[in-house]
Amino acid sequence: MTDPVVRMATALALALGAVPAQADEVLVAVAANFAAPMTRLAEAFTAATGHTLKLASGSTGKFYSQIVSGAPFEVLLSADDTTPKRLIAEGHAVAGSAFTYAVGQLVLWSATPGLVDAQGAVLASGRFQKIAIASPKTAPYGRAAMEVLVALGLEGPLSLKLVTGESVAQAYQFVATGNAELGFVALSQVSVPGKAPVGSMWRVPASLHAPMRQDAVLLKAGAGKPAAAALLQWLRTEPAQAVIQSYGYVRG
């Protein structure tokens, strides 16, 4: 193996005797902002435990609706800390299983170098026609983006320029494809380990929006399933956290 994270994960698993005699598959709902790191984590998790992950990425709000309607997801990696609590309270997730796996960072990003300045002053400049955000109704990063606009007094002035995506992944695509000159996305989408950042961005001060605490939770469909429990345990390990932090997240 060439990936040092995979090597560390495997060594950890062997030291703990964690590799199971019979591997299993876990169906995981992953918040759109965490799709890239989770893809890498999935490889390391399989190396560490023998279990495999079947990943679906999308907006947290949409996943909530699907889970309540009976979707067979076994683990939810949410983009907020309120949805897992709500699922527990409503009997769709296991009490005591939720924990913060990462704290996200909201950024204002443009694929065009120099368009977004380090203070975010471009928002009030009028030098753009469209700004993309995730849906505030279904996506926590979209809610945070609206909180920023409200805090800056720009919710009204920019209302006609907003392009809304179902998830933060779609908001990113709007900007990446030029359908919007700039947009609010997750730092993890534009700051990929080992690659130079593309375009220009402003790291939004945390004081302008609610904390982006992202919680994981064991869903009722995964209750009693060793592979699902192993995933939640593994996300807390140092190898997993090293990957998560390399994408710009802060440890919860």
Q: What pLDDT sits at residue 16?
A: 43
Q: What string of pLDDT tens digits covers the 252 residues of the chain?
A: 445 555 555 545 553 455 555 789 999 999 999 999 999 999 999 998 999 999 999 999 999 999 999 999 999 999 999 999 999 999 999 999 999 999 999 999 999 999 999 999 999 998 999 999 999 999 999 999 999 999 999 999 999 999 999 999 999 999 999 999 999 999 999 988 888 789 999 999 999 999 999 999 999 999 999 999 999 999 999 999 999 999 999 987
Six token digits for residue 62:
């949409």
pLDDT at 22: 75
CA distance to 16, 32, 44, 53, per residue, from 41 (Å): 19, 15, 5, 10
**pLDDT score recorded for residue 196:** 78
User: Which residue in 78, 58, 53, 92 sits closest to 219, CA to CA?
Assistant: 92
| Four-CA torsion 75, 77, 82, 86, nearest 10 degrees | -20
Burial (CB < 10 A; 0-12, 13-18, 19+), residue 117, is: middle
**Two tokens, residue 4:** 């040092």
Calculate helix-pair angle for 4-16, 35-49, nearest 10 degrees. 40
Question: For residue 4, what are the contacts with CB-CB under 8 A and spacing of at least 6?
Answer: none
The per-residue DSSP string of 192-231 comes to: -TTS---SEEEE--GGGS---EEEEEEBGGGTT-HHHHHH
Q: Are strands 182-186 and 131-134 parallel, antiparallel or unpaired?
A: parallel
Burial of 126 (0-12, 13-18, 19+ CB in 10 A): exposed
CA distance 60 to 84: 10
Contact 34, 246 (CB under 8 A): no
HSE, side-chain direction, 13 A CA sphere, residue 217: 31
**Distance separating alpha carbons of residues 6 and 239, to the nearest angstrom:** 8
User: How far apart are the C-alpha atoms of 74 and 92, rounded to whole Å?
Assistant: 10
Closest CA to 134 of 185, 83, 89, 168: 168
**pLDDT the model gives residue 1:** 43
Question: What pLDDT is attached to residue 7?
Answer: 58
Q: pTM value? A: 0.87
- Say what the pLDDT of residue 195 is: 81
